[in-house]
Amino acid sequence: MIIGLAAVLVAAAGSPAASDDSPGHSGDAPYRGKVISQLRHMSVEEKVGQLFVIEVAGRDANNPSDAAKAINRRMYGVDTPAQAVAKYRPGGVIYYTTRNNDDNIGDPAQVATLSNGLQEAALAQPQRIPLQISVDQEGGALVARFGPPATQMPGNMALGAGRSAADAERSAEVIGTELDAVGVTQDYAPVADVNVNPANPVIGIRSIGSDPALVSELVSAQVRGYHAGGVSAVAKHFPGHGDTGKDSHFGLPEVTHDREELEAIDLPPFRAAIDAGIDTIMTAHVVLPAIDPGVPATMSHKILTGLLRDELGFDGIIVTDALDMQGATSTYPPDVAPVRAFLAGADQLLVPPQMDTAYNAVLDAVRSGEISKKRLDESVYRILLHKHRQGIFRDPFVDPAHAVATMGAPEHVADAQAITDRTTTLVKNEDGVLPLASGPRRVLVAGWGVATTQAIANAFGSRGATTRVLESGTTPSAAAIANAVTAAQSSDVVVVSTNNAYALNPDTGGPTAAAVAQTALVRALIATGKPVVVAAVRNPYDVASFPEAPTVLDTYGYTVHQMESLVRVMYGEVNPSGRLPVSIPRADGSGELFPFGHGLGY
């Protein structure tokens, strides 16, 4: 049973006791009195600070680089991350690798030390409220702020191809364990979007797939895995970003699903996440006309409160997607967006573009009565309760030596490779080229990605092959294509990697220049008559651009483990067991090229 938060506040303050199964988690009763006591002693300014999750520049809380100091001055008028925490007393901090030229993430010991320094700054404030430290570590090649030595798990769509809830849970557990070791308390994952639009420019392989049941099953498994690893989980992007043709980082997309489609496609994974005990749900900067025409979900009371709170019964934390994305900024000024999002039902406001403006706008709205103190207390209650529940109040610090031993631990790396080996999908093998005969051979590796093509070449080289690499970038030039054709003549096998060779221009509806050029490279290599293996190393839809290609493999990402698995499958060391987690349409729109669940074995 879910009891309204206002009732919980009253009960915890001395009225009849609130039920121990509310809000959301059993075992919260010991914390409620502490939270109520903290709320009573907090100023309005401190409460407003808890609503914000900010970014900070630098790898050291107190001694950042001169470049990082300059960024902090520009954003916050202070030099150091610790000073930013002291100024705003935010509820959380989010780590980035390279964003606005700032940088938080280096080696594990450094990140652990940064986390400790930020927590020290938070605990030095009068109320001694520790930070929630977050990061986007979805797994896979696209959204993974921690690179090596952090273990590189295969990512969502690869897990969808593997069809294993156990693998999805273990993948999340490894990620969570490593994040916990460096002081990160929350991962902005799993992605719960159902990718039903092959032209989706922002989700794609970040989604598990196009089947709501499969997405729901693996999202639930990931929630369990993150919790087992010691971090809280965030399902995103509510109410669903899987059927958009525009990237909300650069505009405001619209999802045209009617209510029936919403219930059948988009909402099941979020319902499953809630049932699995998800801690936080992140909003999407998308317009859903079926619920609230013209209003982004992040700013919609009908969506965040009416749909997510009242209908789905979610009583955890609602966090906005980044408020500096154009999906928010193109519609609402910096002083309006945070207030509108909060009034819509959000609890946490993520990286507003102008922190002083956003903070003062919310503070003014509370002082004027536009935001009631009761409504403010409800969100701060959720945030503080979450921190108690996660044990952040009890033990906010980490051991840098333990972080070094944990991140990239041998057993984690071994699990990552084993899980990845179960995800590679053989889409076509019409000429029987695969599996390759063992023994030395001359291999040309062409196509997209300097690191990707080299990783493929290294995997072949370790098996005695002589390799040549001709990386041609996202948009191969005519000269690059000609060079690859020439090199193919003296090769026994050609492997060509593609990345978004099916990408569509949202303005014209036709293929992008990059997609046209990559398709031209594939076709030119096929025309040489040499055995050509096409490896779609990102979205599996690429095959629709060159359906005549006789041999096609999908990896759903380009981590080193995924490139190793690719070559293992090509040599027959691993029997390809991945199955398409999406259906592949024909490029001319005439129907389906390959169905959901398609995949070949040996």
CATH number at residue 155: 3.20.20.300
Looking at 359, 380, 406, which one is the last position of a domain? 406
Residue 387 and residue 430 share a domain: no
Rounded Cα–Cα distance for residues 559 and 120 (Å): 35
Is-contact 85 46, C-beta < 8 A? no
Structure confidence at residue 328 (pLDDT): 67
* Residue 242 included in any domain: yes
* Residue 389 included in any domain: yes
Query: What average pLDDT does this structure show over 22-41?
Result: 79
The catalytically annotated residue of 279, 321, 377, 542 is 321
Per residue in 37-82, pLDDT (tens digit) is: 999 999 999 999 999 999 999 999 999 999 999 999 999 999 999 9
Residue 268 belongs to what domain range?
Answer: 42-406
* Residue 434 included in any domain: yes
Measured distance between the N- and C-terminal CA atoms of the chain, rounded to whole angstroms: 51
Q: Is 17 exposed, middle or buried (0-12, 13-18, 19+ CB in 10 A)?
A: exposed
Handedness of CA 10, 12, 13, 14 (dihedral sign): positive
* Residue 5 included in any domain: no
Structure confidence at residue 245 (pLDDT): 64
Residue 461 and residue 395 share a domain: no
SS3 percent helix, strand, coil of the chain, rounded to 5, is: 45, 15, 45
Which amino acid belongs to residue 287? V
Rounded Cα–Cα distance for residues 1 and 366 (Å): 30
Structure confidence at residue 472 (pLDDT): 96
* Residue 114 included in any domain: yes
Residue 428 and residue 400 share a domain: no
Rounded Cα–Cα distance for residues 492 and 494 (Å): 7
Residue 344 and residue 218 share a domain: yes
Residue with tokens 């651009």: 545
* Residue 33 included in any domain: no
Residue 357 and residue 493 share a domain: no
pLDDT-based confidence at residue 6 (cuts at 50, 70, 90)? very low
The catalytically annotated residue of 25, 60, 249, 301 is 249
Report whether pLDDT(18) > 90: no
Is-contact 424 574, C-beta < 8 A? yes
Residue 308 and residue 387 share a domain: yes
Q: Which two tokens stand for residue 601?
A: 């074995």
Residue 466 and residue 383 share a domain: no
Structure confidence at residue 120 (pLDDT): 98
Per residue in 405-419, pLDDT (tens digit) is: 999 999 999 999 999
Q: For residue 428, what is the enclosing H or E element?
A: strand 425-429
Report whether pLDDT(191) > 60: yes
Residue 108 and residue 55 share a domain: yes
pLDDT-based confidence at residue 250 (cuts at 50, 70, 90)? low
Is-contact 564 573, C-beta < 8 A? no
Residue 70 and residue 196 share a domain: yes
Q: Which of 226-230, 244-248, 384-388 has the lowest mean pLDDT?
A: 244-248
Residue with tokens 């809630």: 274
Query: What average pLDDT does this structure show over 184-209?
Result: 93
Residue with tokens 């002589």: 466
Structure confidence at residue 1 (pLDDT): 28
Which amino acid belongs to residue 494? V
pLDDT-based confidence at residue 588 (cuts at 50, 70, 90)? confident
Task: Compute φ and ψ for 297, nearest 5 degrees.
Answer: -55, -40
Q: Report helix, strand or coil for 53.
A: strand
Is-contact 555 147, C-beta < 8 A? no
Q: What is the mean pLDDT of the chain?
A: 92
Task: Compute how many other C-beta atoms are within 10 angstroms of the C-beta atom of residue 477.
Answer: 12
What is the number of structural domains in the chain?
2
Q: Give the domain CATH number at 507.
A: 3.40.50.1700
Q: For residue 498, what is the enclosing H or E element?
A: strand 493-498
Residue 334 and residue 473 share a domain: no
* Residue 180 included in any domain: yes
Looking at 356, 372, 406, which one is the last position of a domain? 406
To the query of whether residue 211 is one of the catalytic residues in this protein, the response is: no
Q: Which two tokens stand for residue 310?
A: 């009242």
Q: Are strands 425-429 and 551-554 parallel, antiparallel or unpaired?
A: antiparallel
Per residue in 131-173, pLDDT (tens digit) is: 999 999 999 989 999 999 999 999 999 999 999 999 999 999 9
Residue 383 and residue 466 share a domain: no
Report whether pLDDT(530) > 80: yes
To the query of whether residue 335 is one of the catalytic residues in this protein, the response is: no
* Residue 28 included in any domain: no
Report whether pLDDT(487) > 90: yes
Query: What average pLDDT does this structure show over 97-120?
Result: 89
Torsion of CA 209, 212, 215, 216, to 10 degrees: 180
What proportion of the chain, given as a percentage, has pLDDT over 70? 93
Residue 451 and residue 372 share a domain: no
Looking at 406, 436, 469, which one is the last position of a domain? 406
Report whether pLDDT(17) > 70: no
Full 3-state SS string of 233-279: EEEEEECCCCCCCCCCCCCCCECCCCHHHHHHHHHHHHHHHHHCCCC
Full 3-state SS string of 55-87: ECCCCCCCCCCHHHHHHHHHHHCCCCHHHHHHH
